[in-house]
Amino acid sequence: MKIGILKTDAVRPEWVPDFGEYPDMFVALLGRADPDLEFVVYDVEEGIYPEDVDEVDAYLITGSKSSVYEDKQWITDLMAFVRELNARKKKLVGICFGHQIVAQALGGKTEKSTKGWGQGLHTHTFVETPDWHDDESADLHILVSHQDQVVQNAEGARVLASSEFCENAVVQIGKHILTFQGHPEFLPEYSREIMDYRREMIGEGVYASGVASLTRAQEGDRVARWILRFLKG
């Protein structure tokens, strides 16, 4: 299987030696689940897209510090591409910003949440069990980093998992689109770097609870297995 990674942001240069760019994180995550995967990176911030949608078998949209409602040409172009993928029923996975732009592009709405920042390890609970799920715990422990949230889902979307903080945490559209608000690709050390950098912005309370949460185990590899079952299903 060949996966096209739609890169929507760059990692801060001082962090790249330790963590790589965002596509590198997904290559590492998904590669642990299936070493035979192939990847192609398209830097959509720079306007780079496949010449043919079928160059790859499936697509994944990364996270970004940008907000999907910002007036930026590359975001407008990416929403048009999401609509094309949806019309073609092409397999697509969205992560954080990717989760939000899928909703925004397909008739939903994302906005800055009145609940503030989500940082560190959160628990999202499945309210129904999709066919790609492992039928183990309904609770998913996943690293998050977001202030924006989907407040209205795309038409036909099913909310599979939620929390008190994030109502729309895992969403599926048909058999071809799956999105997660959390970051399965993050390592706890990277999450800590982000919180340290944004400490003043997110506030001491969120910072303290977020850092404390990193002592608990996150389930990124579990999500990787789910993603691949979904894409291959």
145, 118 Cβ separation under 8 angstroms: yes
Quote the CA–CA distance of 49 and 47 in Å, as a whole number: 6
What number of helices (H) and strands (E) belong to the chain? 8, 11
The length of the chain, given as a count of residues: 233
Paired strand residues for 139: 125
**Structure-token pair, residue 221:** 């590899």
Q: Which of 139, 116, 117, 141 is nearest to 127 (CA)?
A: 139
- For helices 97-105 and 73-87, the axis angle rounded to 10 degrees is 70
Question: So which residues are the catalytic ones?
Answer: 96, 183, 185
Quote the CA–CA distance of 107 and 155 in Å, as a whole number: 6
Quote the CA–CA distance of 21 and 227 in Å, as a whole number: 20
The DSSP 8-state label assigned to residue 128 in this structure reads S
CB atoms within 10 A of CB 132: 17
